[in-house]
Amino acid sequence: MDNLDLVIRSRRVVMENAVFPAAIGVKDGRIACLAQPEYPLAAREEVDFGDLMLFPGLIDPHVHFKDPGPNTSRENWESGTRQAAAGGVTTVLEMPLSIPLTVDKASFDAKMARAEKLSLVDFALWGGMNKLATGHYQELNALGAVAFKVFLSTDPDSPRLGDYDFIQALREVAALGGLVGVHAENAEIVDSLVASLEKAGRRDGIAHKESRPAVAEVEAVQRTLLFGLETGCRIHICHLSTAAAGPVMRFYRQQGADFTVETCPSYLILDQRDLARCGSRAKCNPPLREPENREALWHLLLAGEIDILGSDHSPYWDQERDKSLWQAPPGLSGIDLMFPLLLDEGLNHRGVKPEVLGQILSRNAARRFGLYPRKGCIRPGADADLVVVDPDQEWVWSWRHSLGNSQEKNTPYEGRQIKGKVLATFVRGTKVYDGEKNQILAEPGQGKFIRPA
Ligand SMILES: [Zn+2]
């Protein structure tokens, strides 16, 4: 094959089920061919990464850039995707919690305009499922919404559906062949506990965990899977934090429910000791839990019962984090840390195979959200979205590394020793991030909208 734009070689290319030495030929942004590493391929440019590992670009199914909105100086499509590129994430699936909420054609178009102008990496857009989105699912689906997000917990921005309306909405989306992502926490249990703990004067970090107990999450997972089975709607459980949901998941899988489960690096790496230490700076919903629960989540992940990782990236200014426990906004940033943390804790400390990392960080999301095989794999015909990592390089995370706007100084990860580093990120064959210099090479607007197949 000749007239290639680029040839990338590595001794360790992470394919879907194994690691091979290979030469990857790139033409017009796609992988044109795979060959033995020494095979002579003619190209305008060649780069040999030697023993460094080459992964398919990460797909982060769960990010909050909140752009458009009133706080785009804090985070926007450009700053958010700078951090994505730095973390080896080549496709982001962005949540509907912008202002306006992504609930109809006008708000979808408004977000699309911002993303097309500013995004450095490829992107897909979630639509909302709530009172405002009612009657708009077909419209959003036709526009290319990748999935619909529903909150069973109380979210001030996303007016909650009652059980009957939830079932009706699931039926509508099922008829479209769509996918529904669920924030699974029981609103009544959580809201009542928050009120009573706040009234009791609790302000310590552990009170946050106590206000959102496992039973609230397990109940909501159970209800969701039951309704999903009843309506035939495809379900994605977002950010599972409690391994106590495992038996419920197993039961509904046996019944034939069609669902996937996501967890976040924070639930695999941090636990309630970080919540005790960092208070509102480690506040996320659902909360960080016991160390034993974290271990049990790893078991579910490695058993294939959790399929997908998402960052739930949600940055704030330090002064917002510094509010009291109950007033501080929930959510942790970290789209840039997801891959390094998984290389460190997964590959290096727990012996997770590279191809398994590739599955949970890229392929499985691509499959579930209809982006596969254009995304999520290294094979001829796929987009040349590639990440080069050094799994052995040790470094220390500091807010100074962040390419975001909020530059949060005291996250739970500040000062953390990490083994495994992203050295380069390619989107459709173009290098967008240089990890040696921690430098972005892409221009705003280079990212493309990806419509699910
Ligand atoms: Zn989220």
pLDDT value at residue 155: 86
Res 158: pLDDT: 82
- The residue type of 451 is R
Q: Which tens digits make up the pLDDT trace of 160-190?
A: 999 999 999 999 999 999 999 999 999 999 9
pLDDT confidence of residue 144 = 98
**Distance (Å) from CA 64 to ligand 1 centroid:** 6
Q: Give a yes or no: residue 308 inside a domain.
A: yes
Please give the distance, rounded to the nearest whole angstrom, from the Cα atom of residue 62 to the centre of ligand 1. 6
Q: Which two tokens stand for residue 331?
A: 């959510």
From the CA of 8, how far away is ligand 1's center (Å)? 35
Say how many Å lie between the CA of residue 194 and the centre of ligand 1.
19
> Per-residue pLDDT tens for 286-305?
999 999 999 999 999 999 99
Residue 440 placed within a domain: no
Ligand 1 mean position, distance from CA 32 (Å) = 36
What's residue 156's pLDDT?
80
Cα end-to-end distance, the chain, whole Å: 29
| Token pair in block for residue 45 | 């440019």
pLDDT digits (tens, 9 = 90+) for 73-109: 999 999 999 999 999 999 999 999 999 999 999 999 9
Domain contains 118: yes
Residues in Cβ contact with 162 at an 8 Å cutoff, skipping those fewer than 6 apart: none
CB 176 within 8 Å of CB 138:
yes
Domain count, the chain: 1
Asked if residue 448 belongs to a domain, the reply is no
Residue 327 Cα to ligand 1 midpoint, Å, equals: 18
Distance (angstroms) between ligand 1 centre and the Cα of 57 equals 21
For residue 263, the CA-to-ligand 1 centroid distance in Å is 11
Cα-to-centroid distance, 182 and ligand 1 (Å): 10
From the CA of 408, how far away is ligand 1's center (Å)? 18
Pairing of strands 19-27, 30-35: antiparallel
Residue-level pLDDT at 292: 98
pLDDT digits (tens, 9 = 90+) for 320-364: 999 999 999 999 999 999 999 999 999 999 999 999 999 999 999
Helix (H) or strand (E) holding 301: helix 291-302
d(CA 268, CA 394): 20
CA distances from 247 to 250, 251, 305, 344, 416 (A): 5, 6, 10, 29, 34
Centroid of chain to Cα 319: 25
Which pLDDT value is given to residue 77?
A: 98
Burial class (CB in 10 A: 0-12, 13-18, 19+), 163: exposed
What letters, b where the CB count within 10 A reaches 16 and e where it falls short, cover 115-127? beebbbbbbbbbb
CATH label of the domain that carries residue 224: 3.20.20.140
CA–CA separation, 288 and 290 (whole Å): 7
Give me the count of residues in the chain.
453
CA proximity to 144, closest of 123, 114, 174:
123
Longest dimension (CA), the chain: 72
Report CA(75)–ligand 1 centroid distance (Å).
Answer: 15
- The pLDDT of residue 2: 64
- Distance, CA 77 to ligand 1 centroid (Å)? 16
Percent of the chain residues topping a pLDDT of 90: 98
Q: Is 166 exposed, middle or buried (0-12, 13-18, 19+ CB in 10 A)?
A: buried
In a domain, 414, yes or no: no
In this structure, the dihedral spanned by the alpha carbons of residues 137, 368, 336 and 51, taken in order and rounded to 10 degrees, is -160
Specify if 12 maps to a domain: no
Residue given tokens 């197993």 in the structure block: 250
If you measure from the C-alpha of residue 190 to the centroid of ligand 1, how many angstroms do you get, rounded to a whole number? 17
Strands (E), 222-306: 234-237, 259-263
Long-range CB pairs of 433-438 (<8 Å, 24+ gap) are: 433/85, 433/86, 435/86, 435/388, 438/86, 438/401, 438/403
- Distance of CA 85 from the midpoint of ligand 1 (Å): 19
Strand partners, 60: 92
Q: Which domain holds residue 95?
A: 56-368
Distance 129 CA to ligand 1 centre (A): 14
Q: What confidence score (pLDDT) does residue 1 get? A: 59
User: How far, in Å, is the centroid of ligand 1 from the Cα of 164?
Assistant: 24
173: in domain = yes
pLDDT less than 50: residues of the chain: none
* Contact criterion met (CB below 8 Å) for 266 and 341: no
The answer as to whether 294 is a domain residue is yes
Contact 121, 85 (CB under 8 A): yes
Distance 80 CA to ligand 1 centre (A): 14
